[in-house]
C-alpha cells in the first residue's frame, strides 16, 4: 500500500533554530504576558502582512470571540453557513444569534445580494469569511454595512498574506481575524490575531485578551485570557523567515493540480482572481455527479481507498449542525447554493512538502475511477475558467 497522504501537513521551522530561542526563554524565564518575543513577533508580523495594528492571540477562535467583544456586538449577526464551525460558534459564545445568508456561486463567499433581506432591527454586524482565501465582495459588503450602520468583522482565517492590488485584505472591514493553527498557511502551532485600524482599538483588544487589565488595579471589562505565549511567538518569528517559500511551493502544487485536472468531465476548481496575491491554503474540487458519473462521496471514498485523505470542507454546512439547524435562517430553502456546493466539494491534499509524484497519485485516482462512458466527452470539454459551476 502506498503511503498515506493527508489533506495537509504543517511546516515547522528548523529545530536547531527553535532550540536557540528556547535557550533564551529558559534563561530569561519570561514565558508570557507580552514578553520580548511577543513584542518582536507582533511587530514583524504586522510588517510582513502590511497592516498597521495587530494583536496576537493564543488561537483564532478566541480572537474571533474577542473581536465581537471589542465592538460590543449583540443581538443578531449575519454570517455564512459555508465555513468552519468556529465562525458561528464565536457568535454563540457571545450570546449572539447567527443569521445565515446564502453564498455567491463563483467563489462561495457570503453573497452581498442576500444580506439586506436578512437585516432586522436586532442586527448589529456582518461576519463574512474569505473562504479558501478568496476575497469577499469587499466594496458591496462595505456599502451595505455603511448604509445600515452595521459593524463589519471578517473571519480571515484562510487569508493570511492575501493581497488585492498590493493591499492586504486584512485592512478591509472594521476588524479582521486570522488563525495560525497548525493546519493553516502560517502556523504558530496554535495562534491567531486581530487586525484593526487605530491605536485606541488595539489598546482595547489588548486589554480584553488579558482579563480586561488596564493597569495593576484597573479592570475595564470582563476580559478573557487569550494571550499568545513566548514559545509560540518565538516559533512564529522563525516561521516568518520561511513563509514566502512555503507559499511559493503551495502555488506550484495548485498550478500542477489545475493543469492536470483540466478537461476531466464533471470536475471543476477555482481559478486565481486578477489582481489578487493568492496563498493557496486549500485545493477544493467540485464533483458534478451527473457529468462525472459518480457521486462526490464515492470519489472521496475511492481516494481514501488509495490512501489519499481529502476533506469535505465545508460539509456539512454549519447551519446543519444540531446547535443551529433549528434557526429559521438555517432552512435549506434559504441556502440553496451553499447546500449544493457543500454536496460537491472535496479539498485535495496541498502543503509545501507535498511531492508532485503524490499529486500525480491523487489525479490518477480521480481519472481512473471515472466511469468510462463519462470519459470520452472529457477530451472535448474543458471546465477551466468556466465558473460558476451551475
Ligand X SMILES: *Cc1c(COP(=O)(O)O)cnc(C)c1O
Q: Which is nearer to ligand X, 11 or 179 (CB)?
A: 179
Closer to ligand X at the Cβ: 286 or 314? Answer: 314
Instruction: CB nearer to ligand X: give 87 or 265.
Output: 87
Strand 163-164: give its sheet, edge to edge.
Answer: 167-168, 163-164, 276-277
d(C-alpha 370, C-alpha 348), whole Å: 17
| Min separation Cβ 315 and ligand X, Å | 14
Angle formed by the axes of helices 356-369 and 296-305, to 10°?
130
Q: How far is the CB of 83 from ligand X (least distance, A)?
A: 5
Q: Which of these, 380, 261, 369, 324, lies nearest to 92 by C-alpha position? A: 324
Q: What is the Cα gyration radius of the chain?
A: 22
Q: Which residues 6+ apart lie within 8 Å of 301 measured at CB?
A: none
Minimal distance, residue 192 CB to ligand X, in Å: 5
Whether the ω angle into residue 381 lies within 30 degrees of 0, i.e. cis, is no
Comparing CB distances to ligand X, the nearer of 30 and 85 is 85
Per CB under 6 A, residues contacting ligand X are 59-61, 83-84, 86-87, 129, 155, 157-158, 179, 181, 192
DSSP 53: E
CB of 138 to ligand X, least distance (A): 17
Report the residue number, 60 or 135, with the smaller CB distance to ligand X: 60
State the DSSP string of 132-185.
GGPPP-HHHHHHHHHHHT-EEEEE-TT-TT-EETTEEGGGSSSEEEEE--TTSS
**CB-nearest residue to ligand X:** 60
| Minimum CB–partner distance for residue 84 and ligand X (Å) | 4
Whichever of 130 and 137 has its CB closer to ligand X, that residue is 130
Q: Dihedral angle at the C-alpha atoms of 25, 30, 34, 35, nearest 10 degrees?
A: -50
Name the nearest CA neighbour of 42 among 54, 52, 30.
54
The least CB distance from residue 124 to ligand X, in Å, is 20
Amino acid at each position: 500500500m502506498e503511503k498515506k497522504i493527508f489533506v495537509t501537513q504543517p511546516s515547522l521551522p528548523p529545530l536547531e533554530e527553535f532550540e536557540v530561542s528556547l535557550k533564551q526563554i529558559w534563561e530569561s524565564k519570561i514565558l508570557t504576558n507580552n514578553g520580548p518575543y511577543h513584542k518582536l513577533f507582533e511587530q514583524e508580523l504586522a510588517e510582513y502582512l502590511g497592516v498597521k495594528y495587530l494583536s496576537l492571540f493564543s488561537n483564532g477562535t478566541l480572537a474571533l470571540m474577542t473581536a465581537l467583544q471589542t465592538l460590543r456586538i449583540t443581538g443578531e449577526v449575519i454570517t455564512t453557513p459555508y465555513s468552519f464551525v468556529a465562525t458561528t460558534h464565536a457568535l454563540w459564545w457571545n450570546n449572539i444569534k447567527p443569521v445565515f445568508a446564502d453564498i455567491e456561486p463563483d467563489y462561495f463567499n457570503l453573497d452581498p445580494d442576500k444580506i439586506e433581506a436578512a437585516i432586522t432591527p436586532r442586527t448589529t454586524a456582518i461576519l463574512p469569511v474569505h473562504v479558501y482565501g478568496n476575497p469577499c465582495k469587499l466594496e458591496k459588503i462595505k456599502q451595505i454595512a455603511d448604509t445600515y450602520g452595521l459593524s463589519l468583522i471578517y473571519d480571515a482565517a484562510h487569508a493570511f498574506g492575501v493581497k488585492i492590488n498590493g493591499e492586504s485584505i486584512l485592512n478591509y472591514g472594521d476588524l479582521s481575524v486570522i488563525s495560525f493553527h497548525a493546519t493553516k498557511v502560517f502556523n504558530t502551532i496554535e495562534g491567531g490575531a486581530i487586525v484593526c485600524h487605530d491605536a485606541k482599538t488595539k489598546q482595547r483588544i489588548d486589554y480584553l485578551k488579558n482579563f480586561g487589565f488596564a493597569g495593576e488595579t484597573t479592570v475595564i471589562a470582563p476580559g478573557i485570557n487569550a494571550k499568545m505565549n513566548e514559545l509560540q511567538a518565538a516559533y512564529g518569528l522563525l516561521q516568518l523567515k520561511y513563509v514566502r517559500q512555503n507559499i511559493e511551493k503551495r502555488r506550484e502544487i495548485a498550478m500542477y493540480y489545475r493543469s492536470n485536472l483540466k478537461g476531466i468531465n464533471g470536475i471543476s476548481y477555482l481559478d486565481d482572481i486578477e489582481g489578487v496575491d493568492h496563498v493557496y491554503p486549500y485545493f477544493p474540487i467540485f464533483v458534478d455527479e451527473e457529468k462525472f458519473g459518480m457521486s462526490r462521496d464515492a470519489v472521496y471514498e475511492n481516494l481514501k481507498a488509495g490512501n489519499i485523505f481529502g476533506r469535505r470542507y465545508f460539509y456539512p454546512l454549519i447551519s446543519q449542525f444540531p446547535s443551529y439547524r433549528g434557526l429559521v435562517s438555517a432552512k435549506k430553502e434559504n441556502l440553496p447554493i451553499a447546500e449544493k456546493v457543500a454536496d460537491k466539494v472535496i479539498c485535495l491534499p496541498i502543503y509545501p512538502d507535498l511531492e508532485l509524484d503524490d499529486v500525480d497519485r491523487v489525479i490518477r485516482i480521480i481519472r481512473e475511477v471515472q466511469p468510462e462512458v463519462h470519459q470520452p466527452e472529457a477530451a472535448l470539454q474543458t471546465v477551466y475558467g468556466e465558473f460558476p459551476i451551475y
